[in-house]
Structure 1
């Protein structure tokens, strides 16, 4: 998988880093992430050198970077990925 480290991206635009983000997906899924560990997340844009499409659960995926904690057979159904990301908003406290 190829992508952008979320913390690196956010530090280009925010100081300090936002404590809450709302992630919205193309299938109307929405979640607010609060007080989370920025170091462990990657915005995935491509897999096997191919850009992600909606058919591939793209165009963006928010994926945990420390995947070595999970057995490889569980990665297909990994619960800490957000697929089909279409919008990331900073939630004002």
Structure 2
């Protein structure tokens, strides 16, 4: 994830929107029971944390897939493994 995007995600004053989602009552009860044990003030912040965690995992996977596809394409176009490795080293050392 890019640094600027990460900074925005960590801003506690980000704009919020209200949504409606149907969740089984027993799941809500479990969330209410688990939230304080995990240090959350209530079940809604816990739900947001779960959603954010899953979203970050998927974004990382999808962005990673794009990088792998780009590398494969560059190899097909004749870019050597040494050049690709050097470029990856430059990017990861930031």
Greater per-residue strand proportion: 1
TM-score w.r.t. the length of structure 2 is: 0.20
Higher relative contact order (CA 8 A, sep 6+): 1
Task: Give the number of the structure whose residues are more often helix, by fraction.
Answer: 2
Query: Radius of gyration: which is bigger?
Result: 2
Q: TM-score, normalised by structure 1?
A: 0.20
